[in-house]
Homo-oligomer: A and B are copies of this chain.
C-alpha cells in the first residue's frame, strides 16, 4: 500500500502562499520566511500577513488571512505561541489545504500535546493537512519554494528532519560535498503529517535521488519501515540518522529478554527489513549520500587498496578490513600486469604500494587503477595517500591526466573508485569528483563511503512483515501460553498441569520416566529453585512435588517429560512489543549464556523460516549450532521454524508485551521447547 502523494503536493508546490506573521524585524522568523517566500513570487502568488503594518519587505501586507481575497494553498504560520490556534482557524477558514506551523517552540514538551492534537484536528476536519507545529519549514528546489529560516543548497537529496539544527548541519555538510537538497521538510511535533508519509512523498519526487531522514519519534514505525522499503525498491536509497535511546530503554524493560533489546535494536531491525542505511552522524550521512550520488555501486565487497607508500597502503587495508570489506590477494596474472608498469620495489599482491612509482611516473596511478577496475578481480578500488598533491612536485599536468584516466575507467567499468588524499583539494581531486570519484582527507571517511557502496549484508524485503491480530489470550498462565505457542507450531515436551503429589505421580506414570516437575506461577522458575530435573521414579516425583509445594506454595505444578539435554544447544527465543515498531523477535544462546554473553539478534516480527535462519546464523555463537569442533550440527530448519512460529504468535497477540521460550533445546534431530512464559501488556 502506497500513500497517495498528490495529497501532499501543495506542501511542495503551492499555487499561492501566505506568510502569517511576516515581519520587517530581521530578528524574527516572519522576516526570514517572508524574504525567502518572495523569491518564488515569479512562480506563485505570495501574500504577506501582518496585523499591525501596511507593508512588509516592501510589499503590501494583509491584516488577516481572510483579507487576502483568493484561495491560498499553503499558509505558513510564524506568530507568537498564544496566537497559534487562532491562526490555524483563520487558515482553515481562508481555504488553506496545507498549513505549516513554525510556531510552537514555547510549547515544547508534554504541555504542548493537547494543543498539538487540537490544531491537527482542526486542520483535518476542514480537509487540510498540517506540518509541525514547532518546525523549521519546507523547501523544494525544483519548485523554488523556500519556506525556511536559512538558505539551503539545491541538489538531489531529499531530507526529512525532526531537528531544525541537525537539518542545518546536514545542509552545511552536503554543501561542502558539492551536493544539496531536492526537498527539505522539517517534521516538528508531527501533530498531523508524519515521517512515513514524507518518506513516500520524497521517494515519489522525480528530483529526489536519495531520501534521508533524521527521526526522533517514529510514531508508526511499521509505516516508516514500509515507506522506506518502497523507496528502496524504487531505486532510491534511504539513509537514517537516529539516536540510540539507551537509558530510556533500560528504564522500560522488566525481564532479561527485554533487557537485551534496546530501541536501538528495534531501529536496526527496521533498517535491515527495509534495506535502510543507518548512519551515526551528520558527517556520515553527507559522506554516504555523496558516495551513493556520485559513484557507481560495487557488486561485492572485494577491494583493491592502492597507495603510494607502505604506510597508507597498510593503514587503508586494515581499516577496510575492519569495516567488513575484503582485501583479497590478487591473482598472479593480474599481479604480473601490475608489475610490468611499476618499479621493482612496488608491492602488487594487494594492498598495492607504488613505492615511489608515482613520483617517477604519475601516469601509473591511472594505468594501475584502470587495470584493477577492468580486471573484474575486485569490485572496487580504494586509493590512499599523496595523490592530489603532485602539482607541488611540478607534476600537475600528469596528475590531472591520470585523474581523467581513472574517471574514464570508473565510467567504462561501472565499478567505483574512492580516494583518500592527504591534500584537502586540488585540480586532480576536483576532476575525480566530477567524474564520479568521491575523495576525503580522512581515510576513515573514505573507507566508510566505500562500505556504503557495497551490497548490504542483509537483503531488503520489499515490505515490512504484516501484522494481524488474533483473538486475545484470556490468561497468561503457563498452560495457556504453552498451548498458544504449541498451537502456533512451537514443539513442546509432553506435559500435564497437576496439583499435589498424587496427581503428579499419576501424570508421571502416564508421561513415562524420567520427568521434570515445575512449580508454576513464578517468573524465573529456575532461579527460584522451582524446577526439579531428572526424576526417575514415583517416590522421587512425590518427594519433589511435596517439596515444591512446601517451599513455594505454587498455584499448580507441571509434570513434563525430561528432554535429553546432553548434546543439545539451549536457545532463548523471545518476542516483545516496541512502542513504535511493534512486535520484535529475539534469538540468543540460552541458559546462563544469555546474560553473560549478550549474544542476541533481533528482527521485526513475524519472520519466516529464512528470516529466522538469518537471525540464527547471525549469532556470534552460531558455530555451536552449525557444528563446532566436531559436534553434530543441530536441525537448523526445525530451529528456524520454531522461531518463525513464535514470531507469528507474538505478532498476532498485541495484548502480550513479552513472550518467551527459554530454553528451546536444539538438537541434531529437532527442537523442543522446555519452558514458556508471557507478560501481559500494561
A311 touching B244, Cβ below 8 Å:
no
Chain A positions 301-316 with a Cβ under 8 Å from a chain B Cβ: 308-312, 314-315
**In the complex, what residues of B have CB within 8 A of residue A246's CB?**
318, 321
Report the minimal beta-carbon distance from A570 to chain B, rounded to whole angstroms.
13
How far apart are the CA atoms of A343 and B310 in the complex, in Å?
Answer: 56
From the candidates B26, B444, B596, B628, name the one contacting A280 in the complex (CB within 8 A): B444
B628 touching A244, Cβ below 8 Å:
no
Chain A positions 512-567 with a Cβ under 8 Å from a chain B Cβ: 526-527
**In the complex, what residues of B have CB within 8 A of residue A293's CB?**
none
From the candidates B311, B345, B623, name the one contacting A106 in the complex (CB within 8 A): B345
Q: A243-B314, A385-B165 are in contact. Are A444 and B172 (CB under 8 A)?
A: no
How far apart are the CA atoms of A385 and B172 in the complex, in Å?
Answer: 12
A40 within 8 A of B: no
A598 within 8 A of B: yes
How far apart are the CA atoms of A75 and B601 in the complex, in Å?
Answer: 62
Can you name the residue of chain B whose Cβ is closest to the Cβ of A346?
B108
From the candidates B109, B166, B283, name the one contacting A311 in the complex (CB within 8 A): B166
Q: A356-B105, A444-B280 are in contact. Are A596 and B628 (CB under 8 A)?
A: yes
A629 touching B592, Cβ below 8 Å:
yes
Can you name the residue of chain B whose Cβ is closest to the Cβ of A246?
B321
Which one of A311, A318, A424 has the highest number of Cβ atoms from chain B below 10 Å of its Cβ? A311
From the candidates B106, B173, B621, name the one contacting A597 in the complex (CB within 8 A): B621
**In the complex, what residues of B have CB within 8 A of residue A165's CB?**
308-309, 311-312, 385-386, 422
Q: A322-B244, A345-B105 are in contact. Are A166 and B623 (CB under 8 A)?
A: no
How far apart are the CA atoms of A310 and B107 in the complex, in Å?
Answer: 14
Chain A, 231-246, contact with B by CB distance < 8 Å: what is the 0/1 string?
Answer: 0000000000101111
Q: A216-B310, A280-B444, A311-B214 are in contact. Are A422 and B169 (CB under 8 A)?
A: yes
Can you name the residue of chain B whose Cβ is closest to the Cβ of A355?
B108
A58 within 8 A of B: no
Chain A positions 296-338 with a Cβ under 8 Å from a chain B Cβ: 308-312, 314-315, 317-319, 321-322, 327, 329
A282 touching B241, Cβ below 8 Å:
no
B592 touching A631, Cβ below 8 Å:
yes
B596 touching A623, Cβ below 8 Å:
yes
How far apart are the CA atoms of A596 and B423 in the complex, in Å?
Answer: 43
Which one of A161, A169, A317 has the highest number of Cβ atoms from chain B below 10 Å of its Cβ? A169
Chain A positions 444-469 with a Cβ under 8 Å from a chain B Cβ: 444
A620 within 8 A of B: yes
A163 touching B281, Cβ below 8 Å:
no
B315 touching A281, Cβ below 8 Å:
yes
Report the minimal beta-carbon distance from A385 to chain B, rounded to whole angstroms.
5
**In the complex, what residues of B have CB within 8 A of residue A107's CB?**
345
A162 touching B311, Cβ below 8 Å:
yes
Report the minimal beta-carbon distance from A614 to chain B, rounded to whole angstroms.
18
Chain A, 94-107, contact with B by CB distance < 8 Å: what is the 0/1 string?
Answer: 00000000000111
How far apart are the CA atoms of A26 and B395 in the complex, in Å?
Answer: 12
A592 touching B315, Cβ below 8 Å:
no
**In the complex, what residues of B have CB within 8 A of residue A241's CB?**
315
Chain A positions 191-249 with a Cβ under 8 Å from a chain B Cβ: 214, 216, 241, 243-247
Which one of A173, A315, A322, A424 has the highest number of Cβ atoms from chain B below 10 Å of its Cβ? A315
Can you name the residue of chain B whose Cβ is closest to the Cβ of A356?
B105
**In the complex, what residues of B have CB within 8 A of residue A317's CB?**
243
A312 touching B166, Cβ below 8 Å:
yes
**In the complex, what residues of B have CB within 8 A of residue A629's CB?**
526-527, 592, 595
**In the complex, what residues of B have CB within 8 A of residue A386's CB?**
165, 168
Extra 18 A-B pairs, beta carbons < 8 Å, given A244-B322, A526-B630, A592-B629 = A106-B343, A106-B345, A107-B345, A109-B344, A163-B311, A164-B311, A165-B309, A165-B422, A169-B312, A172-B423, A214-B311, A216-B311, A243-B315, A246-B318, A247-B329, A596-B620, A596-B622, A596-B623
25 pairs, A vs B, C-beta closer than 8 Å: A27-B393, A27-B394, A106-B344, A163-B312, A164-B311, A166-B309, A166-B312, A216-B311, A241-B315, A243-B315, A243-B317, A245-B318, A246-B318, A246-B321, A280-B322, A281-B319, A282-B422, A282-B443, A527-B629, A592-B628, A592-B629, A593-B621, A595-B628, A596-B624, A597-B620
Residues of A within 8 A of B (CB): 26-27, 105-109, 161-166, 168-169, 172-173, 214, 216, 241, 243-247, 280-284, 308-312, 314-315, 317-319, 321-322, 327, 329, 343-345, 355-356, 385-386, 393-394, 422-424, 441-444, 526-527, 592-593, 595-599, 620-624, 628-631
The 7 closest A-B pairs by CB, nearest first: A163-B311, A108-B345, A169-B422, A243-B314, A166-B311, A596-B623, A244-B318
